[in-house]
Amino acid sequence: MKIIVCIKQVPDTTEVKINKETNTLIREGVASVINPFDLYAIEEGLRLREAHGGTVTVLSMGPMQVIDSLREALSMGADEAVLLSDRAFAGADTLATAYTLSKGIEKIGSYDLIICGKQAIDGDTAQVGPELAEMLEIPHVTYVRRIHEIAGGQITVERMTEEGSEKIRFPLPGLITVVKEINEPRLPSIKGKMRAKKAEIPVWSAGDLGTDPEKTGLKGSPTWVTKVFTPEQKGGGEIFEGEVGEQVAKLVRMLRETKIV
């Protein structure tokens, strides 16, 4: 099986702090990490390779520093990594990102399964996976929490829904996006780290991919951000005083006012 895992580098939220005066994120000096959902995607790729044979290729689009995240994926056990990096790709929205990734995947060549994370934690859009599948004209299923079976050129997966889940079968090649429940990502091994350090990671530019300049980066992005602002922060609320009995009585009185109780 030939598996491609798409990963994005994002700022590490455990380190993100809020500037109390301006109510904005302080991201200066904040480390970058692999998008948490993408770790599950990598792990699932590795498990499928262990069960069915084949290779796992990790793919990312972003600035040169993303090489570090790709090395981390290699140290977890991925076979190959590719970075798509070019000034022309900057400022891409999900459509332009999906287009660029699709050109990268075409250049990689054949594949059976593409795995993406459920969403990236910086933009939270969850759109790149389905858009990418559509551009490659392959079927996709989102929010996969379990792969039941791969057999006869078909994959059977379980999609998480609001009420429970759905079991869906579809033909390969295809794309899935995965949620946290699907597995427990492994840590990089020492051997993996050594291998990753030495690995050659090709960096493909717009020229290498033959991307249409009208479809990449800011230019290829139909959506524009026109304004960014901080939401009104709630001031600290009211803490009920007194004994437990008094506290809950106050709370219930308040709930009654809102007609909940």
Ligand X SMILES: Nc1ncnc2c1ncn2[C@@H]1O[C@H](COP(=O)(O)O)[C@@H](O)[C@H]1O
Residues 92-151 that bind ligand X (CB under 6 A): 94, 97, 101, 116-117, 119-120, 123-129
Is residue 8 near ligand X by the rule CB under 6 A? yes
Instruction: List 160's β-bridge partners, or say none.
Output: 165
**Count of positions on this chain that bind ligand X (CB under 6 A):** 25
The interface partner of residue 38, options being ligand X, other proteins, ligand FAD, none and the CB cut-off 5 to 8 Å by kind, is: ligand X
Nearer to ligand FAD, 14 or 233 (CB): 14
The interface partner of residue 196, options being ligand X, ligand FAD, other proteins, none and the CB cut-off 5 to 8 Å by kind, is: none
Interior/surface letters 208-234, b for 16+ CB within 10 angstroms, e for the rest:
ebebeeebbbeebbeeeeeeeeeeeee
**Count of positions on this chain that bind ligand FAD (CB under 6 A):** 2
Among the listed ranges 5-13, 16-24, 205-213, 244-252, the one in contact with ligand X (CB under 6 A) is: 5-13
CA distances 189 to 18, 67, 76, 77, 194, Å, are 34, 18, 7, 8, 9
Nearer to ligand X, 221 or 252 (CB): 221
CA distances 18 to 23, 30, 123, 225, Å, are 6, 12, 18, 22
Q: How far is CA 117 from the centre of its chain?
A: 4
Residue 20, judged by CB atoms within 10 A of its CB (0-12, 13-18, 19+), counts as exposed
What is the C-alpha to C-alpha distance for residues 258 and 91, in angstroms, rounded to an integer? 45
Is residue 14 near ligand FAD by the rule CB under 6 A? yes
Nearer to ligand FAD, 60 or 102 (CB): 60
Nearer to other proteins, 3 or 98 (CB): 98
- Residue 16 is encoded by which pair of tokens? 């993100």
Nearer to other proteins, 190 or 225 (CB): 225
Among 11, 27, 30, 36, binds ligand FAD (CB under 6 A): 36
| Residues binding ligand FAD (CB under 6 A) | 14, 36
